Amino acid sequence: MNSFTAQKLIELNRDFYTRFGAEFSSTRQRLQPGVKRILDSLREDESILDIGCGNGELARELTRRNHNGSYHGVDFSLPLLDAAFASHSFPVKFVQGDLSSNTWSFDFRPSTFDVVFSFAVLHHIPSVEMRLNILRTIKDLLKDDGRFILSNWQFLNSAKLRARIQSWDKVNIRADELEEGDYLLDWRSGGNGLRYAHHFSSEELSALADQIGMRVSASFLSDGESGNLGLYQVWGRC
C-alpha cells in the first residue's frame, strides 16, 4: 500500500471517531469478555500502557479490581478521551496520541511497561509497514519480560457484520490500492458513517510478531453471541 492511500484511510477513521466519538462511546460501556479474561491474569502491581484506551472503561474496571500499578491510556479521539477522565484509586494518566504519528510514544521511556494493551486497535492501522513501525515501538516500551496483549475484530465471522461491508467506490479508493483483508464498513448509530478495518488471521498476526522478534505465547477467540468476534493474542520477546 502506498503512503497516499494509507493516509486516506487514516483520515477516514480520524473523521469517523471525531464525528461519532460520543455515539461510539455509548456502545462501549462494558468490557468485552475477552478483555476481562485478560485482566484476570494480571498482577495488581503491573505497569500498564493501554493503546487506544477509548472512553477509559478499562481503567475504571482496574479501579474496581483494586489495581495499584501505574496506568497510561493513549487515544487520538478527544471525544472519547473526554469521557475517559474519572476518579481512580491508583495512578492513572490519559494522553492524546495518534499512532500514525512517529511522536505518539514520546511521553514514555523505553523498557517502562509490564504490559501493553491494544484492544481493537491494530485492525484500524493501514499497511504492513505502518503496523510494523508501531509494533516495534511497542516492543521497545516493554520491559524484557513484558507482554503485549492485543485483540482484533473478527467481523467476517458474523453475517450481520458482513452485511455492513461497503464498496470502496464510496470513498474514492480503488480495490487494487489496498491490501488483502482491508474492508470498508458502515456505521448506523447517530447518523451514517464509514470506517476502515483490516481482518486479521492468526497466521498474519504471527508473521508480524516474527518480523519484530516477538512470539505468540497464547491465542484465543472470544466476544459476541457466538464467542468468536474477537481474536486475542499474547506476545512476548523471543
Show contacts of 10-16: CB within 8 Å, 24+ apart. Answer: 10/100, 10/126, 12/171, 12/194, 12/195, 12/196, 13/124, 13/195, 13/196, 14/76, 14/98, 16/187, 16/193, 16/194, 16/195
Cβ proximity of 93 and 73 under 8 Å: yes
If you average pLDDT over every residue of the chain, what do you get? 91
Cβ proximity of 115 and 128 under 8 Å: no
145: pLDDT strictly greater than 90 = yes
Cell of 11: 483520515
DSSP count for the chain of H helices, then E strands:
8, 10
The whole-number pLDDT of residue 223 equals 96
pLDDT in tens, 173-228: 999 999 999 999 998 877 788 999 999 999 999 999 999 999 999 999 999 999 99
CA 192, CA 177: separation in Å to the nearest integer?
A: 24
The whole-number pLDDT of residue 151 equals 97
The whole-number pLDDT of residue 25 equals 59
**Overall average pLDDT of the 133-137 stretch:** 96
Q: Determine which of 39-43, 91-95, 132-136, 216-220 has the lowest per-residue pLDDT on average.
A: 91-95
130: pLDDT strictly greater than 80 = yes
pLDDT in tens, 19-53: 876 666 566 557 899 999 999 999 999 999 999 99
Cβ proximity of 81 and 59 under 8 Å: no
The whole-number pLDDT of residue 129 equals 95
The whole-number pLDDT of residue 78 equals 80
The total number of residues shown for the chain amounts to 238
The whole-number pLDDT of residue 29 equals 57
pLDDT in tens, 65-88: 999 999 999 998 887 788 777 767
161: pLDDT strictly greater than 60 = yes
Cell of 193: 458513517
**All structural domains of the chain with their residue ranges:** 3-237
Q: What architecture does CATH give domain 3-237?
A: 3-Layer(aba) Sandwich (3.40)
Q: What is the DSSP code (8-state) at residue 20?
A: S
Please enumerate in sequence order all residues whose Cβ is within 8 A of that of 160, keeping only pairs 6 or more positions apart, or say none.
none
Portion of the chain with pLDDT greater than 70, in percent: 96
In DSSP terms, 195 is beta-bridged to 185
